[in-house]
Amino acid sequence: MRRAFLIAVVVAFLLAGAGWSAETFEKVGTVGAQFLKIGVGARGVAMGEAFVAIQDDATSTYWNPAGIATITGSRFSLNHGSWPAELSHEYATYVFSYGFIPGVIGISATVLQMDPMPETTEYRPDGTGYSFDAGSMAFAFTYARMLTDRFSFGASLKWIHEGLADYSGETFAVDLGTIYDTGFRGIKIGMAFLNMGSGYKFLDDGKESPMPVTFKVGAAMPLLENPKQRLLGAVEFDHPPDGAERLNLGAEYAYRGPAEDFEVALRGGYRFNRDEEGIAAGFGIQFPFIRIGLENKPSIWTVDYCYSEMGFLDVSHKISLGLGF
């Protein structure tokens, strides 16, 4: 079991090494909507963002839309992250099934925002008395379904808006993803194309900013599984449009407590070939809670935290609150 996963890791390293050794023209600063590349959810980021092959998590509406296809009932996830330059990054998603409609539906929203800043000019460096702000947002509708007992497919349609002072631009984009359960030792292979769409302009006569179209492929495998413990390993290889190929590695260890649905998890990961981002780590707690008025049916709550190393940009902290019912 471990040998198969190690082989997958070695292959990923070889592929990444080949990409790094080649002369890569890194088109830094050539695409817009950069906020769409910020990882969401304390769990996914803590696992080194190696999340394209992970299923049964509401934040898969961001990582790979096919990941929500196995979710039963309803899931809600609210995520907050601190970002350099006093920015805040928010992500909320609600995943559910609806009556006669086959498959699973997801609705999500992303917001990157800042506090208003005083306006200054060359002649008035102390301020003009006015202020401005900047922000980015995206709203998405996701649909996913199991096409066979092992193969799931998902798609998201996103509306994207970015604003700076009195200027703004908006467009639409599409995410497509698949996850295949190999049936061998629990190995799952995920693949996703994210942010496919036309660019947008801030000015009518300005240059169009292309979308950060990204291709991701990866695998996840349980390295240990028994009634009390679970160890999950994940590897991901992705190619952004404005940089070199990147490799993400992550792992999650979970211990199930004496109470049903109670679980404590430790997570860690590393992101290779990034300008600043590297080590990530975190933990999570899952526990049942009795809902009043619904025949005492237990709901499942999760609280997750992530510490993400950002090099010269210091660190980023993420916290997530989840609810399943």
Task: Give yes or no for residue 148 having a pLDDT over 80.
Answer: yes
Q: Is residue 239 situated within a structural domain?
A: yes
pTM here? 0.86
pLDDT digits (tens, 9 = 90+) for 204-246: 767 888 899 999 999 999 999 998 999 999 999 998 888 788 9
Q: Where are the alpha helices (DSSP H) in the chain?
A: 2-21, 42-46, 60-63
Question: What is the C-alpha to C-alpha distance for residues 321 and 32, in angstroms, rounded to an integer?
Answer: 29
Contacts of 300 (CB under 8 A, 6+ apart): 261, 286, 287, 288, 289, 323, 324, 325
Where b means 16+ CB within 10 Å and e means fewer, 99-118 reads eeeebbbbebebbbbeeeee
User: What pLDDT sits at residue 15?
Assistant: 47
Q: How confident is the model at residue 295 (pLDDT cuts 50, 70, 90)?
A: low
Q: Is residue 97 situated within a structural domain?
A: yes
Please count the structural domains in the chain.
1
Question: Number of C-alpha atoms within 13 angstroms, CB side, residue 156?
Answer: 34
User: What pLDDT sits at residue 46?
Assistant: 96
Residue located via tokens 């799931």:
152
Query: Quick one: average pLDDT of 243-260?
Result: 90
pLDDT digits (tens, 9 = 90+) for 172-213: 999 999 999 999 999 999 999 999 998 888 777 678 888 999
Q: Is residue 124 situated within a structural domain?
A: no
Task: Give yes or no for residue 91 having a pLDDT over 60.
Answer: yes
SS3 content of the chain, % helix, strand, coil (to 5): 10, 50, 35
User: What pLDDT sits at residue 167?
Assistant: 81
Helix (H) or strand (E) holding 162: strand 151-164
pLDDT digits (tens, 9 = 90+) for 95-142: 999 888 899 999 999 999 888 888 888 888 887 878 877 889 999 999
Are 319 and 304 a contacting pair, CB within 8 Å? yes
pLDDT digits (tens, 9 = 90+) for 23-70: 445 566 678 889 999 999 999 999 999 999 998 899 999 999 999 999
Question: What is the DSSP annotation of 288-314?
Answer: EEEPTTTTT-EEEEEEEEEEEE-GGG-
CATH number of the domain to which 184 belongs:
2.40.160.60
Would you state the structure tokens that stand for residue 165, as one six-digit string? 């002072």
Task: Give yes or no for residue 319 having a pLDDT over 90.
Answer: yes
- What are the distances in angstroms from CA 124 to CA 93, 116, 133, 165, 167? 43, 18, 18, 18, 22
Residue-number span of the structural domain to which 36 is assigned: 2-119+129-324
Q: How confident is the model at residue 264 (pLDDT cuts 50, 70, 90)?
A: very high
Q: Is residue 115 situated within a structural domain?
A: yes
Closest C-alpha among 172, 190, 170, 171 to residue 180: 190
Q: Is residue 311 situated within a structural domain?
A: yes
Burial class from Cβ neighbours inside 10 Å (0-12, 13-18, 19+) for residue 258 reads exposed
